[in-house]
Structure 1
Amino acid sequence: MAAELDLVVRARRAIVDGEERAVSVGVADGRIAVVAGLSEPPAAARIVTLEDDEVLLPGLVDTHVHVNEPGRTEWEGFASATAAAAAGGVTTILDMPLNSVPPTTTVEHLRVKQEAARGQVRVDVGFWGGAVPGNLGDLESLHRAGVFGFKCFLLDSGVEEFGHLDPGAFALALEETARLGALMIVHAEDGSLIDDGALDGVRYAGFLASRPRAAEETAIGLVVDRARTSGGRAHIVHLSSAGAVPLLRAARAEGVDVSVETCPHYLTFDAEHIGDGATELKCCPPIREADNREALWAALDAGDIDFVVSDHSPCTAELKQRGAGDFGAAWGGIASVQLGLPAVWTGARGRGRTLAEVVGWMASAPAERCGLAHKGRIAVGADADLVRFAPDDSFTVDVARLRHRNPVSAYAGRRLLGVVRETWLRGATVDDDAPRGRLLERGRR
């Protein structure tokens, strides 16, 4: 085997099997062929040794990215989104079925998405399907076409071409995904509890009041109830309210198949420090108070939140600043696929968490839940997606240096810990001049 290795990466520090240790990782044909000790590296055509201040990580898996191409490519496109992902140590993304036009709600629309992505992607890209009013009969064909599951909204999605499911339609869709064995991922807010009357122009307090914790918690209760009765697999996206954690914990204890993610911005920012007019921090559900943020960290620590993904949801600067800082008028979404790792690592280390835990939350756990067994880990047989990471280095976020399309960031000017120095996709350094990312299908490698 040694004679056939293309690359060996030697690291005094590497995250392997949930712990930090010294290893030599051998790569052949884009896959990890051997994980050996540092002192006896196998022979290879090329040997790379990490610096003493660097840690070898598996490539991160971000299962919540809005690329928007085609249709709204001026918001974000496959070339820019995947370049940003690679710069942030993310080697696999799953693209949301909106806000592109057309949305990924039929096989025909999926093929349009795949054709738009082909030849542009710097990292590997898979696709979610959408569950919307009127496409119940399309779910099976989308499932067979290789989508990784289905995204639905329980309230207005914000774009007219991707409608939301009422409780009855949601129950039917979840019964269908249960029959297929597919994962249903849910934007869980109850629209009847959204109070647009609380909006107060540029005041963040008004925006926060308009989307209370009860809106999330009530909707999550509906998801849990329908998952229980249907036997379906459900996943709650972008949890912002820690008040839903006990409900989710109890449901899982009784065997309901429901998982949950949160996002770097909910773990980083707090409502008390969001200034009026700071619409770069508008997202739905909203960033809540500091005590809620700390409760989310505690839930991660306890295993009640399964993983952390970006919900990279960019738009143009004009849309983000629409209404001159009016929280009711501005687009809601935070572009962060490049910054998720340093943002989470900054918060984690400040709270005594380890880099191995961060890798679990951002690589192995999302990969496992979404059927990507060959991603997110340093193990024999896995894809050789690797990251050279300097955890003690730091930087100040400069929007001009971010790789996503529009220079807007909630993190602008913020000092973050941890620098990605190199990203490998299947054993080769990610290179903008030679996009080598693949289009992934569920169940196929």
Structure 2
Amino acid sequence: MADPSAAGSPAADSPAAGSTTGSPTADPITRGFDLVIRGRRVLTSEGLRELEVGVVDGTITALAPWGTGLTGARTVELRGDETLLPGLVDSHVHVNEPGRTEWEGFASATRAAAAGGVTTIIDMPLNSIPPTVNVEALAQKRAAAASQAFVDVGFWGGAVPGNTADLRALHEEGVFGFKCFLLHSGVDEFPPLDAEELEKDLAELATFDALMIVHAEDARTIDEAPRAGGSRYESFLASRPRRAENIAIATVIERARSTGARAHILHLSSSDALPLIAAARRDGVRLTVETCPHYLTLVAEEVPDGATAYKCCPPIREDANRELLWRGLQDGTIDCIVTDHSPSTPDLKDPEHGDFDVAWGGVSSLQLGLPLVWTEARKRGIPLERVVGWMAQAPAALAGLPRKGCLAVGCDADLVVFAAEESFTVDVNALHHRNAVSPYDGKRLTGVVRRTYLRGTEVDGVTPAGRMLRRGSA
């Protein structure tokens, strides 16, 4: 599926008859393929290689050396400027359907995902109505998504005050873990946990080894910080200080340590917390961490006053902080990069006044995550392999999806044809996101997604073929 905000020519796609396959270590054997993709740059778990990829029934069944001559019902010859990647996994997406479908929806969100090279999303338990805090709400989410998803979709459950007894049932129904907030979530139907409730729920999750993912900002610290009223970004930044993140992360670490549960820090923006996180891991705390494209590509010094499209919580911080986050990725303290796609209708961003205090906090970037991160990574000499590791393999591992995020025999044939050196200018009105609100409008980015395949079939944006994923069976 072509990225509508970028010009890009598709790879040649031609039918072929017959079938011969092989592997890099075995002689060719006769076999039928549904799809064969040949490329000089194929990014496998072993690095970039010249390969022919054979697909049968939606699964990668052969990786043969270039020139083997695999044939199948369809054959795709990649162009010289194209790299074949595994489909990305975005484990932090707010689709908001049902209940707030005017903010986003499964059809628009999954079209955007496919156009950005994302073949699997895990949907957050809010801001839909009802939130996914019990089995009944999960069933409503699945019913809403099942007939209109263009990529595969899984679901997080929610941990809120009073639903501890629902957590095991949600786990058994296949959610990938549980999200909680440590301060007001922005919507009243998804209230936060206090430290004692967090520990209680972590102890419960430890009994069946489920994952708690945490929006880690300390409510008291933010209550005591200056208010963000007005259009000055500097005032908004002061209202969400790094200290709020650092204190909350320390709380999560200590509760995870005492219960033995698995915990994950969402959307890390404060680089101050990196030494604390690294120390906790050395101590054996079962902790993982993500960050997001907006923290890696945008800086507070360049956010215009009144530009509420940039508002997110925790906030975009200073350039020096950004560079330390990149360092945290490179040294392994931060595990993965996911978008935290958190859209809203344009009016909720208060475009008339540009007041950061009243504007909705969230950045829409589901379609743009890969070129955003790649544009910055290549400036720092970071290879594409590492970017894909952070955006495909690591989120798949976090969610427990062994067939996703990796281009290897036995994995789902979720594949992306990527022109790594082609540039484009973001046109927010050409994106598939339901609402045309983005801080990236007009930015020049490098890296164009030319085609996306879901289990060996090209995503066309017309015929939904996404599956509903369950933990343990995906």
State if a TM-score over 0.5 links the two structures. Answer: yes
The residue number in structure 2 matching 1:171 is 199
The residue number in structure 1 matching 2:408 is 379
Q: Secondary structure of 1:275's match?
A: coil
Letter in 2 for 1:211: R
Residue of structure 1 aligned with 2:313, choices 284, 287, 291: 284
The residue number in structure 2 matching 1:53 is 81
The residue number in structure 1 matching 2:242 is 213
Per-residue deviation at 1:17? 1.1
In the alignment, is residue 126 of structure 1 matched against residue 126 of structure 2? Answer: no
* C-alpha distance in structure 2 between counterparts of 1:127 and 1:198, whole Å: 34
Q: Secondary structure of 1:432's match?
A: coil
In the alignment, is residue 70 of structure 1 matched against residue 92 of structure 2? Answer: no
- Where do residues 64-213 of structure 1 align in structure 2 (5 Å cutoff)? 64-194=92-222, 195=224, 197-213=226-242
* C-alpha distance in structure 2 between counterparts of 1:315 and 1:2, whole Å: 52
* C-alpha distance in structure 2 between counterparts of 1:152 and 1:235, whole Å: 10
The residue number in structure 1 matching 2:71 is 43
Is the 1:322–1:331 contact (alpha carbons within 8 Å) kept by the matching residues of 2?
no
Unaligned runs of 5+ in 1: none
Per-residue deviation at 1:73? 0.3
The residue number in structure 2 matching 1:294 is 323
Q: Secondary structure of 2:48's match?
A: strand
Q: For the structure 1 residues 319 and 51, does the alpha-carbon distance in structure 2 shift closer, same or farther, using more than 3 Å as the test?
A: same
* C-alpha distance in structure 1 between counterparts of 2:51 and 2:425, whole Å: 31
The residue number in structure 1 matching 2:276 is 247
* C-alpha distance in structure 2 between counterparts of 1:322 and 1:149, whole Å: 36
The residue number in structure 2 matching 1:332 is 361
The residue number in structure 2 matching 1:435 is 464
Is the 1:79–1:122 contact (alpha carbons within 8 Å) kept by the matching residues of 2?
yes
Q: Which moved more, 1:316-325 or 1:23-32?
A: 316-325
Residue of structure 2 aligned with 1:229, choices 258, 270, 273: 258
Q: For the structure 1 residues 204 and 2, does the alpha-carbon distance in structure 2 shift closer, same or farther, using more than 3 Å as the test?
A: farther
Unaligned runs of 5+ in 2: 1-28
Is the 1:23–1:35 contact (alpha carbons within 8 Å) kept by the matching residues of 2?
yes
The residue number in structure 2 matching 1:17 is 45
The residue number in structure 2 matching 1:32 is 60
Letter in 2 for 1:186: V
Per-residue deviation at 1:41? 3.4
Is the 1:8–1:42 contact (alpha carbons within 8 Å) kept by the matching residues of 2?
yes
Is the 1:345–1:355 contact (alpha carbons within 8 Å) kept by the matching residues of 2?
yes
Is the 2:116–2:366 contact (alpha carbons within 8 Å) kept by the matching residues of 1?
yes
Residue of structure 2 aligned with 1:356, choices 381, 385, 408: 385
The residue number in structure 2 matching 1:306 is 335
Letter in 2 for 1:26: G
Is the 1:18–1:357 contact (alpha carbons within 8 Å) kept by the matching residues of 2?
no
- Corresponding residue pairs, total: 445
Letter in 2 for 1:73: T
Letter in 2 for 1:208: L
Per-residue deviation at 1:322? 5.2
* C-alpha distance in structure 1 between counterparts of 2:386 and 2:379, whole Å: 13
* C-alpha distance in structure 1 between counterparts of 2:65 and 2:384, whole Å: 20
* C-alpha distance in structure 1 between counterparts of 2:30 and 2:323, whole Å: 48
Letter in 2 for 1:145: E
* C-alpha distance in structure 1 between counterparts of 2:39 and 2:439, whole Å: 33
Deviations 1:180-223 (A, max 9, x none): 11010000000101146332400000000001000000000010
**TM-score (ref. length: structure 1):** 0.99
Per-residue deviation at 1:323? 5.8
Residue of structure 2 aligned with 1:414, choices 443, 446, 455: 443
Per-residue deviation at 1:22? 1.1
In the alignment, is residue 271 of structure 1 matched against residue 296 of structure 2? Answer: no
Deviations 1:294-332 (A, max 9, x none): 000011111110000000000001101256100001000
**TM-score (ref. length: structure 2):** 0.93
Per-residue deviation at 1:400? 1.1
Q: Secondary structure of 1:121's match?
A: coil
Deviations 1:132-159 (A, max 9, x none): 0010000000000000000000000000
* C-alpha distance in structure 2 between counterparts of 1:29 and 1:8, whole Å: 12
Letter in 2 for 1:312: H
The residue number in structure 2 matching 1:258 is 287
Is the 1:64–1:312 contact (alpha carbons within 8 Å) kept by the matching residues of 2?
yes
Is the 1:8–1:41 contact (alpha carbons within 8 Å) kept by the matching residues of 2?
no
* C-alpha distance in structure 2 between counterparts of 1:285 and 1:355, whole Å: 27
Letter in 2 for 1:266: Y
Q: Secondary structure of 1:110's match?
A: helix
* C-alpha distance in structure 2 between counterparts of 1:118 and 1:141, whole Å: 21
Is the 2:227–2:357 contact (alpha carbons within 8 Å) kept by the matching residues of 1?
no
Q: Which moved more, 1:114-123 or 1:32-41?
A: 32-41
Is the 1:389–1:422 contact (alpha carbons within 8 Å) kept by the matching residues of 2?
yes
Letter in 1 for 2:165: G
The residue number in structure 2 matching 1:346 is 375
Deviations 1:78-137 (A, max 9, x none): 000000000000000000000000000000000011111111000000000000001000
Per-residue deviation at 1:369? 1.5
* C-alpha distance in structure 2 between counterparts of 1:21 and 1:417, whole Å: 22
* C-alpha distance in structure 1 between counterparts of 2:392 and 2:69, whole Å: 25
Is the 2:134–2:170 contact (alpha carbons within 8 Å) kept by the matching residues of 1?
yes
Q: What RMSD in Å do the two structures reach over aligned CA positions?
A: 0.9
Identity rate, percent: 61
